[in-house]
Amino acid sequence: MTVSAAESPLFEFLLRQGDNALVLGHRTSEWCGVAPVLEEDIALANMALDLIGQTQLWLGYAGEVEGAGRTADDLAFLREVYDYRNLLMLEVPNGDFGRTQMRQFLFDAFQVPWLTRLQDSKNTRVAEIAAKCLKEALYHLDRSSHTVIALGDGTEESNRRMTDALTFLWPYSGEVFKDDATDNAMAEAGVAPLPSDLHSVWLETVERVLTEACLTLPEGAFAQSGGRTGFRHTEHLGHMLAVMQTLQRSYPGATW
Amino acid sequence: MTHENEWPLWEVFIRGQHGMSHRHVGSLHAADAEHAIRNARDVYTRRNEGVSIWVVEAGKITASNPSDKGPLFDPARDKVYRHPTFYDIPEEVGKM
């Protein structure tokens, strides 16, 4: 049973934060053991673990707010596709290493100013979680932006791959800025700023890094949507959850 | 992958939480010095080992030749008086 946004915008808001971290964390973990070089493999595993740690904080609090006795694990492993509230960009398959890095960068460029603002939330739990996550996000942004620059400004092939990655991801990148009723409720309550308020600072970071990476900002403001509202996920999320949730689905309540 | 396409090797030195100087912890591959620092952070400090990282390109290190071991190190062997073990160090001096 999901509480509707109208009933508890805070719960909805927390699911969005937690599901973004969870889905990106799981996607990132898919690189474990198969990344192009050992050093990147370990870095990606670290990043995945950071994100799963953030998930525990957000979804743990979401469970408390919901008040139905669900834990972070219950929310992560026992919800269906349509209950997820993550951005579509984070659930699409990793693609090549370049696309994974480009996605991480586009997300980090939002997360850093977003979490910075959330530190001033009137909800102290939100402020505390944001402060903890921000330290990790700052490192992630440092790493992903340098990697995007290195690959964009690298060889002919790496530049072509990064251009392809950007072309593929760009239509997904605008979803986060589409304010809705939940965002308005959070802004009114002083819990969070409106995501649309952060668009210009996000774009500034993206333009600066892409320019240094010899990549061209794609034109067009069309943005896919439906992930963070749960209205319509891509076909890929169900497949991802099938893998991610298989243990809890097969052996309910299993612990270690 | 051909050799020319490989990132150079870097030696990594970490200063630990309580350590007084940087210690060699291992090596890794990276495209440049900044990249090496980030890789070192991820490879060698994930269990909270360090507070400071140094990296140096392995090729930039000049090492003593193993075959020079005799002339370099043997003469010090019979000069036990160079060891400070014959002195009592006052406690107030602390760690040396």
Q: Which of B4, B12, B42, B46 to mutate to test the interface with A (most CBs of A within 10 A)?
A: B42
User: Is the pLDDT score of A6 beyond 60?
Assistant: no
User: Is the pLDDT score of B95 beyond 70?
Assistant: yes
Note the pLDDT tens digit of each residue in A107-119.
Answer: 999 999 999 999 9
Question: How far apart (Å, rounded) are the C-alpha atoms in residues B15 and B22?
Answer: 4
Note the pLDDT tens digit of each residue in A19-74.
Answer: 999 999 999 999 999 999 999 999 999 999 999 999 999 999 999 999 999 999 99
Alpha carbon separation from A190 to A96, A185, B69 (Å, rounded):
40, 9, 70
Q: Are B45 and B76 in contact (CB under 8 A)?
A: no
Q: Is A46 on the interface with B (CB under 8 A)?
A: yes
User: Is the pLDDT score of B83 beyond 90?
Assistant: no
**pTM higher than 0.90 for the full model?**
no
Confidence class for position A253, pLDDT limits 50, 70, 90: confident
Contacts of A46 in chain B (CB under 8 A): 42, 46
Top-confidence residue, B75 or A126: A126
ipTM above 0.90, yes or no: no
Contacts of B30 in chain A (CB under 8 A): 39
Confidence class for position A256, pLDDT limits 50, 70, 90: confident
Task: Look at residue B10 in the predicted model and tell me its pLDDT.
Answer: 97
Confidence class for position B3, pLDDT limits 50, 70, 90: low
User: Is the pLDDT score of A79 beyond 60?
Assistant: yes
Q: Where are the alpha helices (DSSP H) in chain A?
A: 9-29, 38-66, 72-77, 88-91, 97-118, 124-152, 156-173, 181-188, 199-212, 236-250
Give percent of chain A with pLDDT exceeding 70: 97
Q: Whose CA is closest to A126, among A135, A115, A137?
A: A115
Residue of B nearest to A143 (CA): B38
User: Is the pLDDT score of A98 beyond 80?
Assistant: yes
User: Is the pLDDT score of A3 beyond 80?
Assistant: no
Residue of A nearest to B31 (CA): A150
Task: Look at residue B96 in the predicted model and tell me its pLDDT.
Answer: 66
Task: Look at residue A5 in the predicted model and tell me its pLDDT.
Answer: 44
Task: Look at residue A239 in the predicted model and tell me its pLDDT.
Answer: 97
Q: Are strands B50-57 and B23-29 parallel, antiparallel or unpaired?
A: unpaired
**Which amino acid belongs to residue A82?**
Y
User: Is the pLDDT score of A157 beyond 90?
Assistant: yes
Give percent of chain A with pLDDT exceeding 90: 91
User: Is the pLDDT score of B26 beyond 70?
Assistant: yes
Residue bearing tokens 């398959």 = A93
Note the pLDDT tens digit of each residue in A189-228.
Answer: 999 999 999 999 999 999 999 999 999 999 877 788 889 9
Q: Please give the mean pLDDT across all residues of chain A.
A: 94
Question: How far apart (Å, rounded) are the C-alpha atoms in residues A178 and A251?
Answer: 39
Alpha carbon separation from A140 to A7, A50, A136, B22 (Å, rounded):
34, 9, 6, 25
Judged by CB atoms closer than 8 Å, whether chains meet at A142 and B38 is answered as: yes
Q: Is A32 on the interface with B (CB under 8 A)?
A: no
Q: How far is B62 from chain A (nearest CA, A)?
A: 25
- Chain B interface with A: residues with Cβ < 8 Å: 7, 28-31, 34-35, 38-39, 41-43, 46
Burial class (CB in 10 A: 0-12, 13-18, 19+), A175: buried
